[in-house]
Structure 1
Amino acid sequence: MMTEHSELILTINHGSSSLKIAFFEVHGHTVHCVLRGAAEALGNPPSRAFLCDSIRCVLFNTEKTFASPEKALEVLYAAAIRILRRRPTCVGYRVVHGGPHLLKHCRIDDEVLMTLKESIHFAPLHIPQALTIMQHMRTVLPYAVHCACFDTTFHRTMQEVATRLPLPQRYFDAGIRRYGFHGLSYASIVERLGSDVPERMIIAHLGNGSSLCALRHGNSIDTTMCFTPTGGIPMATRSGDLDPGVLLFLMRTYGLGADELEAIVNRQSGLAALTGGGGDMRAILKGRNDGNACAELAIQTYTRSVRKAIGAYAALLGGVDRLIFTGGIGEHSNEIRDMVCGGLESLGIRQGDRGKGNVMVMAAGEEQEIAHICRTIG
């Protein structure tokens, strides 16, 4: 039950195909979720929006086509306020990329918003929508504290040997470096493991956007995503790493400009390109099981890329004490996890029943992590 004078925090986590919100009540140094919800399949109507209480009882549910994530947020927020009969005093936002200047979680003011606007080119799929949502909620809740929680902050522990790209110094000075993403997801797992964090750990956040992170004593030392969330392993619609010569070839041979290349590598590539259809892993697995050769190729490409990254990080760490899967695919697809782990026994990676083995599955706790950050800086 919520107490009359306790602080209420709203967290907003906008991904590439979904919007998640949660309300947390603060009790001293702890935060407790009292309501959470999501709008799923944004851009692929009909979308579903729902709210659940702390014991997962559905309190609100609707299926409709939302014109934008902020429209979905309006519906979810209005329903939540009717249920809670309270308004939040603090709002925390997941922000994928803060660019080279916003490196720490912070309160949002006009200066922060301006800096984010100047950093749109670092994450063109994510920052514009985050800005729209922030500006909307600042209007809805003008007296609340608003906090930006950056995915890139977690990776500030990476040393220069991991962040520096082999380009001229002037480009590094301009902010072209490895930033890393999914940091709130990784941080939430480290937080929940607590004293059980091993020395050498790899976390695979596998979802619509996917990345892996190598951690030593809970600190990021390397990660697959680089300058933007487009890099690393192939994803639902993102290409992952490409030979730079491919982009030069496309420019010279087909006369493609920057906007066209951006559309290709962010929206028309990855699993969707390999299947010739969509990038939803559930549908691709079904196609594979039905004998679809393109679906088979897509899954083999995806799992092989994840397995290669694990092997590279095992070498970097000098071994693996624990491998953790998270994200929508990582949490829910036994088939993908089995394919990834197949052949990794020589690295000491073993799946087992009843706790035997060093492979774990953990739900991403980004909203809880955002709430903890808000409690600290809000």
Structure 2
Amino acid sequence: MHDHDQERTILVLNSGSSSLKFGLFAHSANDETLLLEGAAEGIGRDDGRLRIRAADGRVLLQQEHLLQSQTEALQALSQVLVQQHHARPSAVGHRVVHGGPHLRTHQLITDDVRRQLRDALHFAPLHIPPALALDAFATAVRKTIGGYAALLGGIDLLVFTGGIGEHSVEVRRRVCDGLAFLGLIENDPAGKVRVLHAEEERQIARHCRELLQAGGS
């Protein structure tokens, strides 16, 4: 590891169709340490809000108003970074929903990567009918679970995490519907279904740090 690696921060962006989560990380004790985090929610809606907090929980910015775009949220974040005397990030990491058939590992952004991401847009459309999408998604997940259960001879524990896994009771209910024979019953305290908080931003920061170190910069 380079001596100056601990001084280099990584900004992580995790965007959705109407939201943007972000975190700023520094390297210490062989892992990524959170400096600040926040989220813009309801982008494009009158009930939108933006919050940014320091790692100790202090509120650095909290606004409730119409956010026209993710760009507007990023501009507010940039101002907070300057106010808090954080150096310009050495890297920016961004999660994508689907990289298509060829982008299967973490990548430095190049013109070719941009082209392949544009070509993969149809793998994660945002405007299919919600009910149809939810049914199709739950059915696909349920079949996958059943397949693994057959392969492994049963299931000891099913863990839901991430955005919809953590926050959508309806998705968890639909996925588990019909899987009671495997002991997978949503909302059963003694059952095999658990919900865990995901740390997507920290994991993205770890991958970015690996790319920075591999590049020797």
TM above 0.5: yes
Q: Tell me the secondary structure at the aligned position of residue 39 of structure 1.
A: strand
1:347 aligns with 2:182: yes
Aligned CA RMSD, in angstroms, stands at 3.0
Deviation digits for residues 222-252 of structure 1 (CA, Å, limit 9, x no counterpart): xxxxxx124xxxxxxxxxxxxxxxxxxxxxx
1 CA distance for matches of 2:104 and 2:139?
29
Using the TM superposition, give the Cα deviation of residue 38 of structure 1 relative to its aligned residue in structure 2, in angstroms.
1.0
Write the mapping of 1:113-128 to structure 2, written as runs, cut at 5 A: 113-123=111-121
Q: Aligned residue pairs: how many? A: 205
> What's the counterpart of residue 133 of structure 1?
none
> What's the counterpart of residue 267 of structure 1?
127
What TM-score results when the alignment is normalised by the length of structure 1? 0.47
Using the TM superposition, give the Cα deviation of residue 318 of structure 1 relative to its aligned residue in structure 2, in angstroms.
3.5
> What's the counterpart of residue 196 of structure 2?
362
1 CA distance for matches of 2:106 and 2:141?
32
> What's the counterpart of residue 215 of structure 2?
none
1 CA distance for matches of 2:57 and 2:179?
36
2 CA distance for matches of 1:348 and 1:268?
32
Deviation digits for residues 252-271 of structure 1 (CA, Å, limit 9, x no counterpart): xxxxxxxxxxxxxx415123
Structure 1 residues 336 and 106: CA distance shift in structure 2, 3 A: closer
1 CA distance for matches of 2:30 and 2:50?
31
Deviation digits for residues 335-367 of structure 1 (CA, Å, limit 9, x no counterpart): 6535543542311325643xx432111122211
Residue 162 of structure 2 aligns with an amino acid whose one-letter code is G
> What's the counterpart of residue 71 of structure 2?
70
1:323 aligns with 2:190: no
Q: Tell me the secondary structure at the aligned position of residue 116 of structure 1.
A: helix
2 CA distance for matches of 1:332 and 1:123?
25
> What's the counterpart of residue 91 of structure 1?
92
**Contact 1:50–1:58 (Cα < 8 Å) also in 2:** yes
Q: Tell me the secondary structure at the aligned position of residue 7 of structure 2.
A: coil
**Contact 2:45–2:67 (Cα < 8 Å) also in 1:** no
Structure 1 residues 374 and 28: CA distance shift in structure 2, 3 A: farther
Structure 1 residues 269 and 334: CA distance shift in structure 2, 3 A: closer
1 CA distance for matches of 2:139 and 2:176?
12
**Contact 1:36–1:52 (Cα < 8 Å) also in 2:** yes
**Contact 1:51–1:80 (Cα < 8 Å) also in 2:** no
Using the TM superposition, give the Cα deviation of residue 314 of structure 1 relative to its aligned residue in structure 2, in angstroms.
2.8
Structure 1: segments with no counterpart, 5+ residues? 125-227, 231-265, 275-297
Using the TM superposition, give the Cα deviation of residue 84 of structure 1 relative to its aligned residue in structure 2, in angstroms.
4.2
Write the mapping of 1:282-297 to structure 2, written as runs, cut at 5 A: none
Write the mapping of 1:101-250 to structure 2, written as runs, cut at 5 A: 101-108=102-109, 112-123=110-121, 228-230=123-125
What TM-score results when the alignment is normalised by the length of structure 2? 0.77
2 CA distance for matches of 1:114 and 1:71?
28
Using the TM superposition, give the Cα deviation of residue 77 of structure 1 relative to its aligned residue in structure 2, in angstroms.
2.3
Residue identity over aligned pairs, in percent, reads: 38
Residue 117 of structure 1 aligns with an amino acid whose one-letter code is R
Ranked by relative contact order (alpha carbons within 8 Å, sequence separation 6 or more), the top structure is 2
Q: Tell me the secondary structure at the aligned position of residue 59 of structure 1.
A: strand
